[in-house]
Amino acid sequence: MKYWRETLAVAQRILIELLRRRRSLVFWSIFPISVLILNGFILAERAKLSMAEAFENAAPSTLVGAALFFSCLGGSVATVVAEREQQTLKRLFISPLSGTSYFLGIFVAHSCIGIGQTLLVYTVAAFWGAGFKGSLLLGGLIILLSIVSYVGVGFILGTQLARRTEDVNALVAAFGVPLLMLGGAFLPASLFPKTLLDIAKLNPIYHMNEALLGVSAGGDGLTKIASHFWFLAGFAVLMVGGGWLSYRRMLRVERRL
């Protein structure tokens, strides 16, 4: 009960703050829509696909490879860094709020944002006739695991590497964009040369993309996407563990007034 109450309080607070910054909200909506439209039209033209097929293929990579990356990973880092910059973390340290609730609160808030972006991306894709062919439950699970992974990585980066807002941009530029490209967010992984594809298989974004693409555009079940799904699940567990350890370390180092 305590964890649930605290989790909801943290999540609600993050969402209210986001709603207050309407401009950010608008930009976070524009970003996936524009990437989706660009990806959709490029695929339709270059891969000679119908608009519906092109947008069915573009939607998963746009969602997990681009939209969720920036909102959930970038957003988590920004949340932790903003707390540190405005020093509200100190007030949380002196309160009985547990680290688990804090992590879960950030996760729940970014899940809400992620769900919003999912609806947005698939609604826009549906406008060009795209549909979701596979199991909604499995698709939802992949999206949820992607959000958990991103929030976990965001927690690690936010607590360990990023001290100021400028660091967030630098981190995203240094690690995020190459990982996104290698994950197939902007260019289908099927077009990668073999060496690059072998490297891409170590990139969790690649597995998020491939898993959701299989379920969403190909109608695949769990058996067919098993390798991607379990890689993603393992990565999510690892990142939650890493995030938790990072938070503990931050507490040891920074828990002072």
Binding stretches for another protein (CB under 8 A): 2, 5-6, 8-9, 12-13, 16-17, 20-21, 86-88, 90-97, 255-257
d(CA 208, CA 64): 6
Contact 134, 122 (CB under 8 A): no
Query: What separation in angstroms does the CA of 257 have from each of 5, 96, 171?
Result: 25, 15, 28
| Nearer to another protein (CB atom), residue 95 or residue 223 | 95
Q: Supply φ then ψ for residue 144, to 5 degrees.
A: -65, -45
Would you say how long the chain is, in residues?
257
Distance in Å, CB of 18 to another protein, minimum: 9
Rounded CA separation 103/240 (Å): 9
Q: State the nearest-atom distance from the C-beta of 1 to another protein, in Å.
A: 9
Beta carbon nearer to another protein, 94 or 137: 94
Nearer Cβ to another protein, position 46 or 91?
91
CA 201 to chain centre: 18
C-beta of 9 vs 196, nearer to another protein: 9
Exposed e or buried b per residue across 30-56, where buried means at least 16 C-beta atoms within 10 angstroms of its C-beta: ebbbebbbebbeebbeeeebebbbbbb
Q: Based on CB atoms, which residue is closest to another protein, 70 or 102?
A: 102
In the numeric block, the tokens 């808030």 are attached to: 109
Query: In whole angstroms, how close is the CB of 101 to another protein at the nearest point?
Result: 9
Minimal distance in Å, beta carbon 5 to another protein?
6
CB of 89 to another protein, least distance (A): 8
